[in-house]
Amino acid sequence: MFRRGRDLVQALITNRQFFARDACVVARDMIGATLLVHGVGGIVVETEAYHANDPASHSFCGRTSRNSAMFGAPGSAYVYRSYGLHWCLNAVCLPGSAVLVRAIEPQSKLDLMRANRGVDDLRLLCSGPGRLCQALAVDASYDGLPLDELPFQFKLPSGARTSSILTGHRVGISKAVDLEWRFGLAGSSYLSRKF
DNA sequence: CGTTGGATCTTCT
DNA sequence: GAAGATCCAACGG
């Protein structure tokens, strides 16, 4: 009993420590981790880092009601609407910085994801920030929630990393376009686009 | 293959 | 009023 509780606290501390670092480092380290929402999800295969003093970041011009979750606790979710249609899910790192989760390899509750997306092809379920939010049914009501508590589950891969990480330019931005802050799992069939 | 335009909301000018 | 961390269907070559 005591042991269980102690391990739980330990896990929460390490989880918070994991996110309370440079967003680029966190973005790279998140590749291969398992992310679930209500048990739906899979393995993170593509991420992008956004810094507090990064012209491409929502937080660059300071705190607003939309981006306030970016200034919350490290390890919490920042969810925003993109192009008026899609939701995008981020993991908050140091204050004002975050990692955009761009693609997931579907693993858990595939049929639920298919139903949420209205698509059968596994490769089209979570390969893109808007797609994965639709597949995992993430919307504004998840903004600010901690990723290490239900309905979220976030687990780092156990053991040493076996596959290599791709690096590239971030997608769909017009500022700070030269930075290579996009990361992906080499060889994955579930990336949103080529590197 | 590649390109284009429409859907539709939030923020800032 | 314009632009945006997007997606998809409809084109054209």
Give exposure, A142-151, as e/b (b: 16+ Cβ within 10 Å).
bbbbbbbeee
Asked whether residue A59's C-beta has any atom of DNA/RNA strand C within 7 A, the reply is: yes
Q: Which strand C nucleotides have any atom less than 7 A from protein CB atoms? A: 3-8
Q: Which strand B nucleotides have any atom less than 7 A from protein CB atoms? A: 7-13
pLDDT band with cut points at 50, 70 and 90 for residue A1: very low
Radius of gyration of chain A (CA): 16
pLDDT at A5 over 60: no
List strand C contacts in A 115-134 (CB < 7 A). Answer: 117, 119, 124, 128-131
Per-residue pLDDT tens over the stretch A103-130: 999 999 999 999 999 889 999 999 999 9
Q: Determine the protein residue whose CA lies at the shortest distance from the C1' of B8.
A: A84
Cβ atoms of A19 and A74 closer than 8 Å: yes
Per-residue pLDDT tens over the stretch A174-189: 888 888 999 999 999 9
- Percent of chain A beyond pLDDT 70? 92
pLDDT at residue A11, as a whole number: 64
User: Within chain A, what is the greatest distance between any pair of CA atoms?
Assistant: 53
pLDDT at residue A27, as a whole number: 95
**Which residues lie below 8 Å from residue A150, measured CB to CB, with a gap of 6+?**
none
pLDDT at residue A13, as a whole number: 65
Neighbouring-strand partners of residue A26:
none
Instruction: For chain A, give every domain's residue range.
Output: 2-185
pLDDT at residue A2, as a whole number: 41
**Low-confidence winner among A14-18, A77-81, A135-139 (lowest mean pLDDT):** A14-18
**Low-confidence winner among A32-41, A60-69, A146-155, A184-193 (lowest mean pLDDT):** A60-69
Per-residue pLDDT tens over the stretch A69-113: 999 999 999 999 998 889 999 999 999 999 999 999 999 999 999
Cβ atoms of A106 and A125 closer than 8 Å: yes
**A2-185 CATH fold:** 3-methyladenine DNA Glycosylase; Chain A (3.10.300)
Distance A101 CA to C6 C1' (A): 14
